[in-house]
A and B are shown apart, each in its own frame.
Chain A
């Protein structure tokens, strides 16, 4: 039982390194926003988000696509895209796409 638990914890830690695309990763805690993409459209009147979530470094679900984020705000012209990476010990991780546009 102890070995299994150890494997799970070790797995979670090792896997967590690959889960978020954060420019900087904190093993204990990560919460940062960074730029992802920019277009020639300058104006942003709407903002939409889409999210994917991971648990224990073992299960990951969600839809963090640009398309879903744009759809969530009725955006047809994207201005720029930010991303937010959040992780607690690699056990709970969130990747959020934030799309600005009109």
Chain B
């Protein structure tokens, strides 16, 4: 019995090991007026702020031929925290971009709040910040402010993967 269970588990290992393969992380839909590229949700940004719960989850939508992309994200807080603006910061260069946040929804969960918002930012900047050596910081600002960033190991993987997807976009345009 043990042998059979072990055999099945061993068979699954190569597939499980490949679950982060890049083609599974994005969708590409060609259409009239420009293809739409979608980087699937990535739950990687962390915060040291006591108000923040769970990781910030982001996804990116880019329409080929346009100058901007949508950086859409979900964040969880103990209390309602509606935001007005989002800052993208770098350790070396300070504020790289500041833009108005569009809130999609605010909804209660068990004993916390889930909020989803979107930021439109220049596509070229997005490419640049994901090719940096260190994780950028995303700072959400409303009445209060919460900052998130990726851990170095996570950043290394994310940066490589997202940059490769940007390469795919470039090759197909």
* Contact across chains for B105 and A71 when beta carbons are under 8 A apart: yes
B residues less than 8 Å from A100 (CB atoms): 29, 36
- Separation of A100 and B118 alpha carbons in the complex (Å): 16
Return A94 CB to nearest CB of chain B, in Å.
10
> Does B104 lie within 8 Å of A28, measured CB to CB?
no
Nearest CB of chain A from residue B113's CB, rounded to whole Å: 15
Provide the residues of chain B in CB contact with A33, threshold 8 Å: 27
Task: Report whether A46 and B15 are in contact in the complex, using a CB–CB cutoff of 8 Å.
Answer: no
Chain B residues whose CB sits within 8 angstroms of the CB of A72 once the complex forms: 72, 74, 104, 116
Residue total for B at the interface (Cβ-Cβ under 8 A): 30
Give me the interface of B with A, judged by CB distance under 8 Å. 1, 5, 8-9, 11-12, 15-16, 19, 24, 27, 29, 31-33, 36, 38, 40-41, 59, 61, 63, 70, 72, 74, 102, 104-105, 116, 118
Verify A45–B72 contact, CB threshold 8 A.
no
Q: Shortest CB–CB separation between residue A44 and chain B, in angstroms?
A: 5
A49 touches B59 (CB 8 A): yes
- Known: A42-B31, A47-B61. Is A28-B41 also a contact (CB below 8 A)? no
Contact between B19 and A43 (Cβ–Cβ < 8 Å)?
Answer: no
Q: Indicate the size class of the contact surface on chain A.
A: 20 to 34
- In the bound complex, CA of A29 to CA of B17 (Å): 12
Chain A residues near B27 (CB-CB < 8 A): 33, 47, 82, 98
Question: What is the 8 Å Cβ interface bit string for chain A, positions 76-102, against chain B (1 contact, 0 not)?
Answer: 000000100010110000000010100
- Distance in angstroms from A9 CB to nearest chain B CB is 7
Decide: A46 near B59, CB < 8 A? Known: A73-B72, A100-B36. no
User: Contacts A29-B15, A82-B27 known; A44 to B36 CB distance under 8 Å?
Assistant: yes
Residues from chain A with a CB closer than 8 A to the CB of B74 are 72
A74 CB within 8 Å of chain B: yes
Interface digits, A1-27 against B, CB 8 Å rule (1 contact, 0 not)?
Answer: 000001001000000000000000000
Q: How far is the CA of A57 from the CA of B9 in the complex (A)?
A: 16
Shortest Cβ distance from A92 into chain B, in angstroms?
9
Within 8 A of B (CB), among A60-79: 71-74
Knowing A47-B36, A82-B27 are in contact, say whether A89-B9 is a contact too (CB < 8 A): yes
Q: Report Cα–Cα, A31/B20, bound state, in Å.
A: 12
Q: Are A28 and B12 in contact (CB under 8 A)?
A: yes
